[in-house]
Amino acid sequence: MANLMEDELFRAFTTYAAIVIVKMLLMGPLTAYYRITRGSFANIEDVARKSADEQKKLLRTHPDVERVRRCHLNDLENIVPFLGIALLYTLTGPELSSALLHFRVFAGSRILHTISYVCALPQPCRSVGYFAGFIVTSSMAYRVLSTVLFL
């Protein structure tokens, strides 16, 4: 494992993989923050100490909470495939500059997507963030398949 971490290409992959994983992990506390500040809870045990009337008011959806939840789901749908494809891409031995471009654009696109989604920025901000990441993942998948395709 120590030898693997000496490889610049693999270190680049682990750096950007860690960045997008941490970004995705932070969406959980952000959802909790929005739930608490908006008074919008999903489970009865979250409001069990409240009166029945208060429980009815608090067990509801709120547009801001749902926005953050959808952003988190979008992360799961895009970051998880990126991690697998990026690892395979790294194993194909691309140029470091090409790999860094892919990894940086993907990480930047996910950050842009999150800011656009949570802050409700006007379109096409969120779409640009999404499609940039999708194109990067597709590009890496193409490289992997064109390198190792076995029929």
Q: Would you give per-residue pLDDT tens digits along the chain (151 residues)?
A: 568 778 999 999 999 999 999 999 999 999 999 998 998 888 888 787 777 778 777 877 899 999 999 999 999 999 999 999 999 999 999 999 999 999 999 999 999 999 999 999 999 999 999 999 999 999 999 999 999 887 6
Interatomic CA distance for residues 18 and 111, integer angstroms: 13
Q: What pLDDT sits at residue 151?
A: 63
Residue type for 88, please?
L
Residue type for 118, please?
V
Interatomic CA distance for residues 45 and 72, integer angstroms: 23
| 39 dihedral zone (left: phi>0; alpha: psi -120 to 50; beta) | left
What ranges in 26-62 are assigned the alpha helix state H?
27-38, 52-58
Q: What pLDDT sits at residue 60?
A: 79
**CB contact at 8 A, 118 and 71:** yes
63-91 and 8-25 helices cross at what angle (nearest 10)?
A: 170
Q: What pLDDT sits at residue 119?
A: 95
Interatomic CA distance for residues 21 and 83, integer angstroms: 9
pTM (whole model) above 0.85: yes
Task: Give 32's Cβ-side CA count (13 Å radius).
Answer: 5
Stated as kind and residue range, the H or E segment containing 10 is helix 8-25
CATH of 4-34+61-148, one of 2.40.160.20, 2.60.20.30, 2.60.40.10, 1.20.120.550: 1.20.120.550
